[in-house]
Homo-oligomer: A and B are copies of this chain.
Amino acid sequence: MAEPQEQSKSALKKAEKQAKMAAEKAAKAAKQATLVVGSGKKTDDIIGITVKKSEDFSQWYQEVVLKAEMIEYYTEISGFFVMRPASMYIWSVIRKWFQERIEAMGVEETSFPMFLSQKSLEKEANHIEGFAPELAWVTKAGDKDLEVPVAVRPTSEAVMYPYYSKWIRSHRDLPFRLNQWNSVVRWEAKQTTPFLRAREFLWQEGHTAHLTEELAGKEVLEILELYAGVYEQLLAVPVVRGRKTENEKFAGGYYTMTVEGYIPSNGRGVQGATSHCLGQNFSKMFDISVEDPNEKGKHINVWQNSWGLSTRVIGVMVMVHGDDKGLVLPPRIAKIQSILIPVGLTAKVSAEDKAKHIAKIEDLHATLKAAGVRSDVDLREGYTPPWKFNDWELKGVPLRLEFGPKDAANDVVTYARRDTGEKGTVPIADLATKVPELLETIQQDLYNKADAAFKEHRLVIHDWEKVVPALDSKNVVIIPHCLQGDCEDHIKDITKGEEDLSIPVGKRAPTMGMKSLCIPFEQPEGGLVKGETKCLNPDCSRLAESYCMFGRSY
């Protein structure tokens, strides 16, 4: 993850090999842990993460997603990943939350084929240019060559819009809004990273048509706000809302709005999700028009949007909240929000007392479930409490509830917060109210902590000399900029560092150039005087159009 964005093929292979080795190492460690526990030894340190987040972020991330059982590397075909139940649960919560909200907006569900014909794809020139290098082509069925090869969709504009032309016949059909949940394939040459960049990923793609630019624009922002909601309200991850520059907008679109996240550990920006206004580009190419309701006989090409949110969100969440013990899950998306673990059941406790104690724990579990808490109990035999603590910490469960004979005597449950490690007790009588409150506090605290980190590392800079040092100190920068593509390209070049080849791949400090992340809706106050303030690029002679957020990024 610390490599420059454009990889040579050999560097890519090296990185993949490394990733596989890490995966195997992790699996071995996990297996060993099970075996050792089976033979009764203490193994607290074996199942955990073997590197510190601050020391080798790339390795740390790979271990977390593997050991928390979110991901499996699909070793059969490189660049693909298996999403295991621990991550699919999160995706299903997000899906439900988002689906309810777009349904309320009147968006309906559809399912188009996964294959795309060359003919449709070619209709929008910029669009095909953007996606052609990453298309997977089916050329054979059984043992016969297809007469015309077909591509697996990288996105569905060219799959769907021939039918929009057929279905949208009157302005009364507008707004016309469809969404589908599926997977798309982009055969990337760049290094892949679980969740963040994969050759196949799950997402939703909404495709809508409107009578006017204004109506389309309104929806673009409504959807963007839902995307921000997924990050902020569910995943406890702060984002900056903004507009992409011409260089970074969707291939073939009119303009792109985005939510941008930030990874404190390496100071990189990360595109969160994008909501595009396609303008009339596609509707002209695919002949999607209606009669003007205000002028008989006049035809208007519809204004279109497309918007997508992918499983990338899960990776961002892991990177932001995780720590040296493993995953840290915000309670709202955690399948298990609190885990009850019996403690203090030493050899001195009689079998009868043990059984009574376990029965009490089951009561506590029932109380929590009745209070709407996604509670579970860990009654596994043959594992020590500390081993169980580590196991659930690794898996990110927000709240650990310990219950021993001493707790029982005092009518309390002892808790430990996953995010802060803070411990305390809750009277059993208050369990049904206090645990939900604690979970909500954890949710808010996770967000606040991440928000503070992002705010602290979003530097408004007016002096070019400070830009690269700021990047090297893990900041993203907000600078006055002319918003021209050639200037962005040049900035990427002059902010690149030299690669220190003596350091092994994966351990090297980031040396990639910075690119524009977005033009934030919320601009710094004062500062930029339009028509006076210069673009900060020292080699650019143009005036600044706006503050633009730049950074090294995923």
Q: Is A366 an interface residue (CB 8 A)?
A: no
Determine which of B88, B109, B152, B185 lies in contact with A110 in the assembled complex, contact meaning CB atoms within 8 Å. Answer: B88
Partner of A114, one of B109, B170, B183: B183
Q: Contact between A115 and B82 (Cβ–Cβ < 8 Å)?
A: no
Which residue of chain B lies nearest to A82 when distances are taken between CB atoms in the complex?
Answer: B112
Contact A108 B85 (CB under 8 A): yes
Which residue of B is nearest A163, CB measured? B72
Q: How far is the CB of A181 from chain B (nearest CB, A)?
A: 9
Contact B117 A76 (CB under 8 A): yes
Are B138's CB and A142's CB within 8 A?
no
Does A169 belong to the interface (CB within 8 Å)? yes
Contact segment of A128-136, A245-253, A496-504, A542-550: A128-136
A-side interface size class: 35 or more
- Interfacial residues of chain A within 150-186, with CB under 8 A of chain B in the complex: 150, 152, 159, 162-163, 166-167, 169-170, 178, 182-183, 185
Residues in B with CB closer than 8 Å to A169 are: 31, 34
Residues of B within 8 A of A91 (CB): 111
Main secondary structure of the interface of A (DSSP, over half): mixed
Interface string of A470-507 (1 = CB under 8 A from B): 00000000000000000000000000000000000000
Q: Which one of B34, B166, B170, B187 lies within 8 Å of A141 (CB-CB)?
A: B187
Give the residues in chain B near A81, CB-CB below 8 Å: 113
Minimum CB–CB distance from A424 to chain B (whole Å) comes to 32
B interface footprint on A11-44 (CB within 8 Å = 1, 0 otherwise): 0000000000000000100010010000000000
Cβ of A170: which chain B residues have Cβ within 8 Å of it? 34
Inter-chain pairs besides A83-B112, A137-B140, 7 sampled, C-beta below 8 Å = A84-B110, A85-B109, A88-B109, A133-B142, A134-B141, A135-B142, A142-B189
The 4 A-B pairs with the shortest beta carbon distances in the complex, nearest first, are A85-B108, A141-B187, A137-B140, A76-B117
